[in-house]
Amino acid sequence: MEYFMDAIKNKYAQFDGRARRSEYWYFTLFSVIGFFVIGALATVLGMVNETLGMIAMGIAGIYWLAILVPSIAVAVRRWHDLGKPWFWIFIGLIPMVGGIVSLYFMVQDSQPGDNEFGPNPKGLLN
């Protein structure tokens, strides 16, 4: 939860620097949990009252908009940690293989030592 809150509060739109695997994956985990909770709430409220369900869906939309920028920012910082430029975030858009390639890279360890995007957040040396 610490990584999620840090990404929301302190690194909301920070696209420079590097992000460790743990920062990226904890942010992703708590984002997905948030969507599931809001989705379940919308489903239950929608069964009770259609208006309440629509309100909950509106909250889900607001949540999505609220985490859109930090999601992109943490992904860019994660690619930087791997020594790749920001536009690698688009590799996931390639049909069939993009998601697999992106996942492969996102589970890789940090590039050792400093790179052009800053010092290694893990403090590894070359």
Nearest partner of 76 among 10, 13, 4, 6, judged by Cα: 13
Cβ neighbors of 19 (< 8 A, separation 6 or more) are: 74, 77, 78, 80, 81, 121
Q: Rounded distance, CA 71 to CA 88, Å?
A: 14
Grouping H, G, I as helix, E, B as strand and the rest as coil, residue 118 is: strand
Q: Rounded distance, CA 13 to CA 7, Å?
A: 9
Grouping H, G, I as helix, E, B as strand and the rest as coil, residue 115 is: strand
**What is the predicted pLDDT for the residue at 3?**
62
Q: How many Cβ atoms are within 10 Å of 75's Cβ, its own excluded?
A: 21
Structure-block tokens of residue 28 = 């992703």
**What is the predicted pLDDT for the residue at 9?**
73
**What is the predicted pLDDT for the residue at 121?**
83
**What is the predicted pLDDT for the residue at 31?**
92
3-state SS string over 24-76?
Answer: HHHHHHHHHHHHHHHHHHHHHHHHHCHHHHHHHHHHHHHHHHHHHHHHHHHHH
**What is the predicted pLDDT for the residue at 107?**
94
Task: Give the residues of the chain that fall short of pLDDT 70.
Answer: 1-4, 6-8, 123-126
